[in-house]
Amino acid sequence: MKSTKKNMNIGAAFFFIFFGLLFFVLIVRFVTIQYTGEAEGRVLSAKAAQIYLRQEKIPSKRGTIFDHNGEAIAEDSASYTLVAILDKDLTIDPKHPRHVADPQMTATKLAAEIDMSEQEIYERLTKEGRKQVEFGAAGKDLSHSVKQKIEDLKLPGISFIKESKRSYPNGIFSSHLIGYAQKDEKTSEIVGITGLENSYNNLLKGKDGSIKYEGDIWNYVLPNSHKNVTEPINGHDIYLTLDKKIQTFLEDSMKKVDEQYEPKRIMAVVADPKTGKILAMAQRPTYHPETRVGIDKSWHNEIIETSYEPGSTMKIFSLAAAIEKKVFNPNDTYPSGRYYVNKRDYIGDHNGGRGWGPITYLEGVQRSSNVAFAYLLEKMGTQAWREYMDRFKFGTPTGIDLPNEVSGKILYDWPIEKVTSVFGQGTTVTAIQMVQAMTAIANDGKMMKPFVVEKIENPNDGTSKETKPEIVGQPISKETAKEVRNILETVLTSEHGTGGRYKIAGYKVAGKTGTAQIPDPKGGYLTGYDDYVFSFLGMAPADDPKLIMYVVIDQPNLKEDENGNLENGSVPVSMIFNPVMKSSLEYLNIQPEEIPDTKIANLPDFSKMKKDDAIEYIKEKSLVPIIIGDGDKIIDQSPNSGASLIEGEKIFIKTDGNLTLPNMTGWSKRDVLYAARLANVNVNIVGDGFASKQNIKPDSPVNEGDHLVVNFETPRQKIDREKSAKNKEDDDKPLD
């Protein structure tokens, strides 16, 4: 018994000592923490502050991209993401729940406002273990009006997260130049992906600010707490040279042509030649910058990033070089048709190498004769032309303020390459290089660097940086530029000119057409009727150009008429150039000129006039005299006196003496019938299209009642015939 009591006392003593020591350790620990304010090496006050410290981001505003007149092209706009709070712990007062208390009722009402079924919404609202849910694409990018409708429902637990998104209020509007920006999934900030949005991203994006404060579990600010605010730095605003009106003119016209002709590609630029400002720039295919629909067809800026063979529009600059070197005499003649570079290779004119006989160089320019320019190259020398290509900066990037510009390539090693470069074959350029070079022609020899960013403004301090027009060279003199403009105007007004379709009522236009062959991946060039790059590089008004416009259409599906005749490639090009140029000139308040009516009223009775006087009168009226017979006295005419005609039409005059018929190649059926009637011969028309062959040799004597047989062919038949003829040649390799 005593032993048991003794053991109990020992045990009690042990526990007393143990708990006494433990209490002592706790007292020491408490006093130490109280005295030092630290535990396990960490400051407890800082830890406590960290528990209650709240920090929220104050988003910066991405810079706005404006047009020349200050209208927004790309800007930030508010969007809302729908969220549902499912955490019941956030509700303190059951009468005023802060979570979704009734999932079924909430799902029913939300289904009427967002694009999601009631069942799917209900399933999201009843997910186990989730404190908050979103609603996928159906709940993102909600407009303010939709947000307001949902808020008016006063659904417990339904809230919104306000975000910024990039908005493009004009839709498809120079999309490849502007580019697009979108939210980065990792950082949640808007980032430029393509175009100006990408290349100027660092200036546009700005820097987010923040706000720090002490708050409770529900993020309410604690009493007597302090806020620490760091203001955001907003992105810079960019003002472009683009003019919304002119860009809209261009987009509308290009859309129409794209839908009607479905070409492989369209590029177009409108520029101010005095400054180098790009007023409009567009291409097809294109895409919508918000939805990105269509971006898979072409995501890069063709005008800046793609090089191609320009074709005859290059003759503008080789003509300027020839004039500057004083080797161009418009009245000198040359033998059109073919120009042999060597015994094997030759250059052919675009009518199958037949040419038009000996003609003047002026007519050669008007007809876009490759042979004329081959002879001009011979006159000025290949080294001189190479130097002028450098002066016009072909083969060199323009330095325009857009990303990924390419330089093109000048092929100038072999004799044939030197000749073909003078009319835009073999050598490649970009559309923006052609526009830059054209500023020298339009701006009295001064070549202006193209640019699209007019100024950049910093909204945080009010400072701005403007782009000043920059002269990048003077390849030709003022006198040469003026003469080139005068000659290019005749390309539209001459009876032989290839640019008649580009006339604009009330304005003088100067320019040059282009029909460039397309390299075949298998070698050589494609040969289909519409397998060409059709283009026009023009300016207006011709005397003092205020606008330059360049339109390029690649492989349009040209249409056939009821006779099987295909349209010329200039038709779709002019459907863009003419309305855009005319509307832009009118919009800029450039007054139209007084241009006389081209119609001729009350055609005189030529039988009362001498033959030479009649021919001179006809030419003065921009008509074409066709003489039947080799006499001096006029005995008949067609059309008859009193008729009204449009310049360029044929006037048939019959004289006494021996009866002859002219060369009818290229004539319409109507013209052949006029001539046959006056000559009083029997005519037999074979085929459709335009005259290609006649059985009576031109200018040889015929008798009344003889039989005239004229074969006609459509443009497609002509192409097939010429292709077949070329295949039969063993040694010659035409490079038309």
What residues are annotated to the active site? 312
Residue 164, strand partner residues: 78
Collapsing DSSP to helix, strand or coil, 446 comes out as: coil
Q: Indicate the helix (H) or strand (E) that contains 608.
A: none
Q: Which of 472, 440, 469 is nearest to 537 (CA)?
A: 440
DSSP character at residue 386? H
User: What is the C-alpha separation between 153 and 347, in angstroms, rounded?
Assistant: 78
User: What is the C-alpha separation between 425 and 509, in angstroms, rounded?
Assistant: 25
Residue 628 phi, psi dihedral angles, 5° rounding: -110, 115
Other beta carbons less than 10 A from residue 156's beta carbon: 17
Check: CB of residue 73 under 8 Å from CB of residue 66.
yes
Angle, alpha carbons 607-613-619 (nearest 5°): 105
Check: CB of residue 61 under 8 Å from CB of residue 236.
no
- The token duo for 339 is 């120009």
User: What is the C-alpha separation between 394 and 409, in angstroms, rounded?
Assistant: 8
User: What is the C-alpha separation between 583 and 585, in angstroms, rounded?
Assistant: 6
Collapsing DSSP to helix, strand or coil, 626 comes out as: strand
User: What is the C-alpha separation between 732 and 345, in angstroms, rounded?
Assistant: 6
SS3 content of the chain, % helix, strand, coil (to 5): 35, 25, 40
User: What is the C-alpha separation between 328 and 315, in angstroms, rounded?
Assistant: 13
Give residue 169's identity as a one-letter amino acid code. Answer: P
User: What is the C-alpha separation between 311 and 534, in angstroms, rounded?
Assistant: 8
Report the C-alpha dihedral over residues 557, 553, 301, 204, rounded to 10 degrees: -110
Check: CB of residue 539 under 8 Å from CB of residue 568.
no
User: What is the C-alpha separation between 310 and 303, in angstroms, rounded?
Assistant: 12
User: What is the C-alpha separation between 533 and 537, in angstroms, rounded?
Assistant: 13
The DSSP string of 85-145 is: E--GGG-SSTTS-SS-S-HHHHHHHHHTTSSS-HHHHHHHHT-TT-SEEE-GGGGSSB-HH
Residues written for the chain: 736
Check: CB of residue 483 under 8 Å from CB of residue 508.
no
User: What is the C-alpha separation between 50 and 538, in angstroms, rounded?
Assistant: 69
For the chain, state the CA radius of gyration: 40
- The token duo for 410 is 């000048």
Check: CB of residue 280 under 8 Å from CB of residue 248.
no
